[in-house]
Amino acid sequence: MEKLSSTGSFGGRVERYKHASATLNCDMEFGVYLPPQADTGPVPVLWWLSGLTCTDENFMQKAGAQRLAAQLGLAIVCPDTSPRGTDLPGEHDDWDFGSGAGFYVNATQAPWDRHYRMYDYVTKELPALVEANLPVTGQRAVSGHSMGGHGALLCALREPERYASVSAFAPICHPSDCPWGVKAFSHYLGDDRNDWRAWDATQLLTDVDIQLPILIDQGADDPFLGEQLKPGALEQAAICAHHPLEIRLREGYDHSYFFVASFIDDHLRHHAKALGLIASAD
Ligand SMILES: N[C@@H](CCC(=O)N[C@@H](CSC=O)C(=O)NCC(=O)O)C(=O)O
């Protein structure tokens, strides 16, 4: 992998890298925050999955996570949100589909299946690359925002043994039943809705063996709350499956990174506790 930049931040470094992805069949860029503790030994990683229209840079520039990550000794890796440099029919026409909108699934439908395999990319290829080349351990936590919150829930519900903890900000909780999800899933996965179940947190949650407790923050003034995000569906599924889930509805907050930045420290502490970096998240 090629280092694109390295910038000091709270005693650590914000770095960006480029590499050729075999999973996605294209070149990709990603961002990483390495806390000062990474100078003397490997540190665990919070994997952050961003939302629609984002690149690897939105979270690093807007969430303000570096100050506390530096104190905790927690690295943060931000993948991009879709394959890049490709030019499939209609790929760049809409902000909620195609480029910037990979939805963290493995596409099965042509022409998307040649590139849009974001689940395998963020759970397998990129962790292997990062863990082989940067001063990090194989201990992982996962979080994300909106489409990335859906991605984080997928990681934790499909392969809970790979993660110590999970959280999400305003996740798309039931993509099979919202306009963003239906649009993406019909193109990437085809029209048979039985094939969507394995990529829908609300449906997956009923069959998991290892139950990672889920922490969610949701803005009460989020314009996408009722039509796209549907945390109530996930809450009902969690009650039926006795899956530990805490959803905190935040009055006065919307869907933006002002909301993410306001509560990111709580999430970092939640993950740091699960990773054994601190004794208590309070
Ligand atoms: N069309 C608008 C709205 C796009 C938007 O709100 N994107 C969110 C994620 S939405 C769900 O996945 C986001 O994180 N935007 C980036 C940011 O830095 O705020 C638009 O294009 O702005």
Task: Note the pLDDT of residue 187.
Answer: 98
Residue of 21, 50, 146, 262 with catalytic role: 146
Residue of 145, 150, 243, 255 with catalytic role: 255
Gap between the Cα atoms of 82 and 125, Å rounded: 14
Gap between the Cα atoms of 21 and 120, Å rounded: 11
Task: Note the pLDDT of residue 3.
Answer: 98
- For the cut 90, the answer to whether the pLDDT of residue 207 exceeds it is no
Structure tokens at 107: 């596409």
User: Does residue 216 lie within any of the structural domains?
Assistant: yes
The number of folded domains in the chain is 1
- For the cut 90, the answer to whether the pLDDT of residue 66 exceeds it is yes
**How confident is the prediction for the chain on average, in pLDDT?**
97
User: Does residue 281 lie within any of the structural domains?
Assistant: no
Taking CA atoms, 116 is separated from 28, 59, 187, 263, in Å, by 12, 22, 11, 31
Helix, strand, or coil (residue 145): strand
Backbone dihedral region of 81: left (phi > 0), alpha (psi from -120 to 50 degrees) or beta?
alpha
**Is 257 a pocket residue for ligand 1 (Cβ < 6 Å)?**
yes
Question: In which band, very low, low, confident or very high, does the pLDDT at 142 lie, cut at 50, 70 and 90?
Answer: very high
Q: How many Å lie between the centroid of ligand 1 and the Cα of residue 29? A: 19
Peptide bond into 111 cis (omega under 30): yes
Considering the chain, what percentage of its residues have pLDDT values greater than 90?
98
- For the cut 90, the answer to whether the pLDDT of residue 281 exceeds it is no
Least confident of 23-27, 247-251, 276-280: 276-280
User: Does residue 67 lie within any of the structural domains?
Assistant: yes
Spatial CB neighbours of 15, under 8 Å, sequence gap ≥ 6: 3, 4, 5, 6, 7, 31, 32, 33, 34
Task: Note the pLDDT of residue 128.
Answer: 98
- For the cut 90, the answer to whether the pLDDT of residue 35 exceeds it is yes
Task: Note the pLDDT of residue 280.
Answer: 82
User: How many C-alpha atoms does 210 have within 13 Å on its Cβ side?
Assistant: 13
Pick from 129, 162, 138: nearest CA to 42: 138
User: Does residue 214 lie within any of the structural domains?
Assistant: yes
- For the cut 90, the answer to whether the pLDDT of residue 58 exceeds it is yes
Full domain range(s) for residue 168: 2-275
Mean pLDDT of 271-278: 97
Considering the chain, what percentage of its residues have pLDDT values greater than 70?
100
Spatial CB neighbours of 61, under 8 Å, sequence gap ≥ 6: none
Query: What digits encode the pLDDT tens for the residues 156-202?
Result: 999 999 999 999 999 999 999 999 999 999 999 999 999 999 999 99
Establish whether 255 is a catalytic residue.
yes
User: Does residue 280 lie within any of the structural domains?
Assistant: no
Gap between the Cα atoms of 124 and 130, Å rounded: 10
User: Does residue 129 lie within any of the structural domains?
Assistant: yes
CATH number of the domain at 214, please: 3.40.50.1820
Question: In which band, very low, low, confident or very high, does the pLDDT at 252 lie, cut at 50, 70 and 90?
Answer: very high
Atom of ligand 1 nearest to the CA of 257: 19
**Is 54 a pocket residue for ligand 1 (Cβ < 6 Å)?**
yes
- For the cut 90, the answer to whether the pLDDT of residue 282 exceeds it is no
